[in-house]
A = this chain, B = another copy of it.
Amino acid sequence: MPKQDSMRRWEDLGPVAENGLFDRRAFFKGGAAFAATMTGYTLSESSRAQALVDDPWSATVGTPTGPYETRSRFESSVVRTLTNPTGAPRSQQSRTPHHLIDGTFTPNGLHFAISRTGPPDIDPEQHRLVIHGLVRQPLVFTLDSLMRYPMESRMTFVECGGNSAPLWSPEPIDATVQSLHGYVSCAEWSGVMLSTLLDEVGIDPSATWLLAEGSDALAVHRSVPISKALDDAMIALYQNGERLMPGNGYPMRLLLPGWEGNMNVKWLRRIELLDQPAMSIYEAKTYAPILPNGKAYQFYFLQEVKSFITRPSPSLSLSGPGFYEISGVAYSANGRISKVMVSADGGQSWAQAALQEPVLPKAFTRFRTPWRWDGGPAVLQSRAWDEAGNVQPTRTQIVAARGEATRVPSINGFPSQHYNGPTSWGIDSDGEVKHVYA
């Protein structure tokens, strides 16, 4: 057993950046311990005895849990925000509450979902997936027949091309991390590799693209290069262990790890192999915004390296000076996250964050940095690198390249897509946290 007095304190390592950022090595086993954080409180003998008295809920028998367990009633505020809260028969966009969850996976109930015409109420026994077009032999697959094929599982994020769009605003929008970055989530998906099924139908040598089509009322469809289909595309049947959620494509979706969310076609019913892209509205217009130089940003499917701090963040105010952990998520379509730097002074000085193992390609990586808030103003920021050598651009750089909104848009406005610059949280001396530009 280690001797208490031989342990090093996290503060012994000293700050490694301005405004109270400490070294990530403070987290390592056998390194500094976190004593003297002291957010627990001491009690007198009499009140300590009081703390050991039964609480009311201990004095009664609880209600046994049922066949499918649901959350505590005290968690009812941990929900997705909706753009269409009344559930009217039109587009619904729901955002993940990143500031209220932790770890690296998004629970299925809180995974973001966007649908134009609502999730179709698909009977999985009746659903069919057709693969046809430039193939040797068109085939029709039932869910049962897909279950006969070899399966794989992979943890990967899905991000809407429009995620983080409020950051294109010329003025910072006063909103939470959920409102700003809620259109990205991460899950473990299991299913059949698309390459397995394409091998089964036989790819005609002239096929270079495929069209993937959903069975929602709008039949949302996107074109995908065959090279991605043969790389890591999956027909996903399970989301975090259970069948897909209705909003995420039940009973099957196309999963294109790291690529624009809308391309991960949900309620998948048809794949047609083509010798050119189909130029659906989503590639021809919606996700092809005009750049400042007059050209269109088209067929750029990657969701590039990004990170944001989830705690502290707006609505989670600091309760007083002292130790806090700065925590957030980083991810990249180009592979693993290699490094995350955190600043507490708006990007003037930086400390390297600890990355939670396992660091997986095209998946959320949670980062954590020890921080001692001195009670004064601070601006928190994170910046991530991926193993392919990419780094998040500064906001100035990406706005120069892609253009800025001409006015402050509504929180649901989409002046552009694919913002992957940093996000800054300003902290005032009351401990309130607010979205700022820095």
A39 within 8 A of B: yes
Min CB distance A91 to B, Å, is: 8
A216 within 8 A of B: yes
A101 close to B238 (CB less than 8 A): yes
B65 close to A247 (CB less than 8 A): yes
A121 close to B153 (CB less than 8 A): no
A120 close to B246 (CB less than 8 A): no
B52 close to A148 (CB less than 8 A): no
Most chain B beta carbons < 10 A, residue from A126, A242, A322 = A242
Min CB distance A100 to B, Å, is: 8
Interface class of chain A by DSSP:
loop
Min CB distance A184 to B, Å, is: 13
A400 within 8 A of B: no
Min CB distance A51 to B, Å, is: 5
A102 close to B237 (CB less than 8 A): yes
Residues of A within 8 A of B (CB-CB), count = 145
Q: Which residues of B contact A382 (CB under 8 A)?
A: none
Which of B60, B74, B82, B207 lies in contact with A123, CB distance below 8 A? Answer: B74
User: Can you name the residue of chain B whose Cβ is closest to the Cβ of A82?
Assistant: B67
Give A165-204 as 1s and 0s: 1 = Cβ < 8 Å from B's Cβ atoms.
0000000000000000000000011100001110111110
Which of A134-142, A256-264, A386-394 forms contacts with chain B?
Answer: A134-142
Given contacts A35-B200, A55-B269, A103-B189, 7 further A-B contacts (CB under 8 A): A35-B199, A40-B139, A58-B219, A62-B115, A62-B121, A102-B151, A151-B327
* Cross-chain pairs A/B with CB under 8 angstroms, 18 sampled: A36-B200, A41-B145, A55-B122, A55-B126, A57-B120, A57-B121, A57-B123, A57-B215, A58-B269, A65-B245, A69-B113, A72-B243, A102-B153, A102-B237, A105-B105, A107-B108, A150-B370, A153-B366
Q: Which residues of A contact B (CB under 8 A)?
A: 1-4, 7, 26-27, 33-43, 48, 51-52, 54-55, 57-75, 78-82, 84, 87-90, 92, 94, 101-111, 113, 115, 117-128, 130-132, 136-141, 144-153, 188-190, 195-197, 199-203, 205, 207-208, 215-217, 219, 226-227, 230, 237-238, 240-243, 245-247, 250-251, 269-270, 311, 319, 322-325, 327, 356, 358, 360, 366, 368, 370
Instruction: Report, nearest first, the 6 A-B pairs whose CB atoms are least far apart.
Output: A62-B118, A64-B92, A67-B79, A40-B139, A65-B247, A57-B120
